Chains A and B, each alone.
Chain A
């Protein structure tokens, strides 16, 4: 139903989310660092799910750039927490544009619920 892109440096997370969401009937594209996303193809997606703490590209930056490019893009932010303490990471992500935030380790039902909520919005 919806075109979703999942960005996370951990392969397991990507696989799980892809499995789960595809079972829900969505089309899922996965990316390790979001590099494949650009101005042209971003508008193809309905929902962006991104991890925050990643070695290659910063998830926070991805959120900001997505917002800049496609302002009404729906974004869900995932975070596993930080080595030095999460601080206000998820809160910041929300203020910057993530509609929902999810903590790792996540509850699959929770993820599905949030995704469906956003997707069914219009």
Chain B
């Protein structure tokens, strides 16, 4: 009999084994002593365990638990074993999970006859805990073989590592669990073999032999051995076994692989120490709290704050134990919130207070801690002491407040001061005007020389004082916000010219060139305060002239469209004056400081002009800046925001530009900028400028055979003057006909030197106005045409028309050439029309005479045709109102309707066609009510406007141009020639522009082609060109290529036809 103190399972008994699968079917059996016979059949039938042990049905729950290994053992006493239908037996059953046979997922049942006294255990176990059951052992059943077998079963099932050392046999038995660690074929290994093959294991086993062989167990021994699973650590209990004689016959070693456990412990220790180091070395306070707000753990820093020696002393306590109750309450609320919502508190700035006045500022971050179920189980807080930073911030805020107050006070004081001055303005100014006025009166009385002198001095001082006062007042009014800018439309070019007019004399006196240039595209009508803009321009220009001894002063403006109709205009006033130093530039815009007192003494002036200008510019939404180099010159630039309209893309006047197109012009001026401006201007009209610095150069070139259509000569040039050149040209037959325009300066008097020089067509005063120059050149080229309007056929439409149909006609037209043409045409019909150059003049004229008909050009300066019409319609009674007919260069479908809707009665397109004119005249009723019998209208004379036939005849051309058949053809040829030349050039440029996607150039080309074609009367071409012009930016690249190719081919056809014209005669 084997006695053991440790394992009750070693008690002997004689079981029958039944092994089931996971579904409780019998799959195997092992007989004990053969007392249960039908096992064979049961196995064969794979019947359910419940079939043979029906009592188990009631214990299904426990069976499940054993299957799931939640219960390691389960016993039933006196269960019924159904041997077969009739035979039953009472048995005791021990049920265990099968961990040895087959799939190891079912049960092992040890079944013992109750008649034999071998029932293990007393009652079924219900709570899964291993209770060491005491066993009654029947010694007679304990045969050595049974014992060993059972022993083996148990050993194999245990999760522990078991080694039984049989001292007598000097061999060991290793259980399956332990065997996994070694590569041993069998579980029984002789010690000799063990020593050889697993020396480390051997040495561990025999390590404590001294004690063991003396009968002393060795518990909790930690051994380390190399195994197939690597180096492992086992916790071993070694128990010696003695026989009945008391001799030690064996040692039972029970061990657990403690490697993982030891590793885990080490890791844990390491992490712990990291945490310790971290927590205690971080200067921020760290604390862990539970869900009740009690400290679980804190670091040294927090301990310091709390005022305790050791962090441990805080455990279990709360904020309320350390801090002032208000703070503790607030913190508690925060923490409650965190615990409830699971949302962290980040970076909250709070004032931590303790009783007794201690207070510091912290930035606190508190985060919830979650357990493995995701529930909040506490929180961790980290707070940083930011007291110093906080205090510094507070100080800064306070300082800023003070500064702000001081600044506001200073500003208010300043404003009050200037407001005072502004409000007192009339008090200051009026007496001054009184003084000046009276002094003027005084000077008109009889004074002796002495008195005159005194009076003059008084006057001068008064003027100066008045200027100072006005400037100061203007400045203060702007400063205190009392100035409102006007918003009225005005013409930009006229404004610039006005500015130049004011300074022309001063510039000439100093020998300076004065000019202006408007960069296209630019809106010609600006909505704003013209007076104030002029004030700025005048100020800058007068400064420029003041500080320039030689060279030039140029005004320039360029526009940028910010949004439809809204522009930023940049004005520049450039001079070649003495310049301003860097330091001076800084002082420039400060009130009451002029650059250098010596300069101020030299040039005079109050120094407020620039300041006012800047204020005004700022009111206009822009700013002013300066670029200057001493000794080289200065450029003042300023921008303003304004609405604008009437864009001028390029300077063309449609009808007449075609006549300038392609004409070569010699620009002769010693001043480079002037040459440039003239070149740019003439180029924009389609002309070909050639620049010459000296008159001699022109002569040189002319001698070599070059030809010019017109010459623009500066009069005052060093060396050969403009007049000298004109004289020289006049001498030569072939050069005499070159028309010349001479540019003179203000104050220059024309003497008889130039008499007889009939090649000089016009003298223009500088600064030359663009419009004047254009008109002059255009007139030069169209003079011939106007003179030639006379002819046999026109006789047919004689002055009889006017006789039969008398009308008072007013022509409103600003362009001199158009004026001539229209007046002439009317003369032919016998009408002596009056002339008005703009809307205002029309209104004035209307007041003096009740006209029957007004031929109103739409585009006029000052007040345009539409506006005038509206005013007339509103002011003049219906019965006496004249017929108003629009003259317009645009002839597009929808125009008639447009003008009619605007209040005009009719419209004629320019150039005026005779029959159109007659039609319009017919529609007017003369005021005197004379009845008219029919107009002997020579409809045949001018001919109806025919749709252009594919091939163009000379007759047709003359028709279109309004010439009679008897008209000289030479002019027609000339016109055609120009057209052909010009158009050829345009066509050459077009493909490249299209290819490179240069829409702007394409538009320019197409537009020019349209208007010149229109003049010649080639309407299909002009319409086609116009269509392209209107739709230019809507085309896709391929569409553009198509339409322009079409245009080119049409144009070439026309050109081919035109070239045949001279042959038609």
Contact = CB atoms under 8 A, between A and B. Distances in A.
Interface of A: 40, 52-55, 58-61, 63-64, 82-84, 87-89, 92-93, 95-96
4 residue pairs, one from A and one from B, having the closest CB atoms: A60-B433, A53-B426, A92-B434, A96-B437
Contact of B437 (A40, A84, A92): A92
Contacts of B482: 55
B427 A88 contact: no
B427 A84 contact: yes
B430 A58 contact: yes
B427 A53 contact: yes
B153 interface: no
Interface string B414-432: 0000000011111101110
Main secondary structure, interface of B, reads: helix
B431 A83 contact: no
A2 B433 CA distance: 29
B433 A61 contact: yes
10 contacts: A40-B840, A54-B426, A55-B482, A60-B430, A64-B440, A82-B426, A84-B427, A89-B431, A95-B441, A96-B434
B176 interface: no
B427 A52 contact: no
Interface residues of B, number: 18
A71 B437 CA distance: 15
Q: Of B424, B425, B430, which is in contact with the most chain A CB atoms at under 10 Å from its CB?
A: B430
Contacts of A64: 433, 437, 440
A89 to B, nearest CB: 6
Interface in B590-633: none
B1010 interface: no
B529 to A, nearest CB: 11
Contacts, number: 53
B477 interface: yes
Nearest to B473: A55
Contacts of A84: 427
A82 to B, nearest CB: 5
Given A64-B437, A93-B434, 5 more contacts: A55-B426, A58-B429, A58-B430, A59-B426, A82-B427
Nearest to B486: A35
Contacts of B133: none
Contacts of B434: 60, 87-89, 92-93, 96
A58 B423 contact: no
B880 to A, nearest CB: 21
Q: Of B423, B426, B427, B440, which is in contact with the most chain A CB atoms at under 10 Å from its CB?
A: B426
A95 B438 contact: yes
Contacts of A55: 422-423, 425-426, 477, 482
Contacts of B427: 53, 82-84
Nearest to B431: A87
B501 to A, nearest CB: 16
B477 A60 contact: no
A52 B441 contact: no
A61 B482 CA distance: 21
Given A53-B430, A60-B434, A83 B424 contact: yes
Nearest to A88: B434
Contacts of A60: 429-430, 433-434, 437
A78 B1030 CA distance: 60
Nearest to A61: B433
A89 B433 CA distance: 10
B748 to A, nearest CB: 28
A40 B424 CA distance: 32
A59 B426 CA distance: 9
Q: Of A40, A60, A87, A95, which is in contact with the most chain B CB atoms at under 10 Å from its CB?
A: A60
Contacts of A58: 426, 429-430, 433
Interface in B473-493: 477, 482
B1022 to A, nearest CB: 41
B430 A96 contact: no
B437 A52 contact: no
Contacts of B437: 60, 63-64, 92, 95-96
A36 to B, nearest CB: 11
A10 B441 CA distance: 30
Q: Of B437, B477, B482, B840, which is in contact with the most chain A CB atoms at under 10 Å from its CB?
A: B437
B430 A82 contact: yes
A92 B433 CA distance: 9
A58 B482 CA distance: 16
Nearest to B441: A95
